[in-house]
Amino acid sequence: MNLNYKCLILDHDDTVVDSTKSIHYPVFRDVLKILRPEISITSDDFLEFCFDPGFEEYCMNFLNFSRDELNFQYINWKQKTKEHVPDFFPGIKELLLKYKKHGGIITVVSHNDPDLIMQNYIEKTGIQPEMIFGWDDDSGKRKPSTFPVIKILEYFKLKPFEALIIDDLKPGYLMAADSGVDFAFPGWSNHPKKIEIFMKENAKYFIKNINDLDKILFSK
């Protein structure tokens, strides 16, 4: 069995773990009740503004959060994520173990905290990603910047065509497009139609289930 891609560059939330509707959205909804009680959002609203323009951009440019308010939101989110380790989507663990067994390189580029990502992987799968890029205050080092992808390709001495980015949101797609790396959208996660329409039109792969991803990654 051969690998069609030597390296996976994985998003975390709503790509490998089912976390937004159980953790990230409820935390943000509760923060809004305190900071902007006149505003209410649905989980689909939350996913859509994380998709475009992005979470921080929405908080700063649409909700006009101050730095203190952003920090308040971050502290509440951090506490909640410490209390609850999200589950991996069914079949992801087994596929990643198979991929690693055949020599695949597993890396992560996310807007989540690197330590929490590693904790999620170890507790739920026993796998340790070989490189993790999480949230960075320097926007030039986090997606949609190509910085994480360039560093991963350089470190493992790979060409862009040897890697596959899997991500459910626009920053991941833009990062892939700008770095020349193939992009796949994880259709097994429940997303608003707006996001699905964009990904069906733009992603190289719109993956409906884990079995479809298996067929993309492996060939005999």
Q: Predicted confidence band at 186 (pLDDT cuts at 50, 70, 90)?
A: very high
* Structural domain count of the chain: 2
pLDDT tens for residues 71-120? Answer: 999 899 888 888 888 999 999 999 999 999 999 999 999 999 999 999 99
* CATH for 160: 3.40.50.1000
- The residue out of 49, 83, 117 marking a domain boundary is 83
Indicate whether 8 and 32 sit together in one domain: no
User: What is the share, in percent, of the chain residues with pLDDT greater than 90?
Assistant: 86
Integer CA distances (angstroms), 12 to 5, 99, 154, in order:
19, 17, 22
| Structure tokens, 126 | 């026993």
Burial degree of 76 (CB within 10 A; 0-12, 13-18, 19+): middle
Indicate whether 68 and 136 sit together in one domain: no
Indicate whether 104 and 120 sit together in one domain: yes
Indicate whether 55 and 161 sit together in one domain: no
Q: What pLDDT is attached to residue 26? A: 94
pLDDT tens for residues 134-168? Answer: 988 898 999 999 999 999 999 999 999 999 999 99
Indicate whether 148 and 210 sit together in one domain: yes
Task: Output the pTM of the full model.
Answer: 0.94
Indicate whether 45 and 99 sit together in one domain: no
Indicate whether 8 and 25 sit together in one domain: no
- The residue out of 29, 50, 83 marking a domain boundary is 83
Give the range of the structural domain holding residue 180, as residue numbers without chain letter: 2-18+86-219
Residue 60, SS3?
A: helix
| Structure tokens, 174 | 């833009």
Indicate whether 124 and 200 sit together in one domain: yes
CA 107 to chain centroid: 11
Indicate whether 73 and 163 sit together in one domain: no
Segment 164-182 shows an average pLDDT of: 97
Q: How far apart are CA 65 and CA 69, in angstroms?
A: 6
Residue with tokens 């030039």: 140
Indicate whether 65 and 144 sit together in one domain: no
Q: How far apart are CA 96 and CA 49, in angstroms?
A: 29
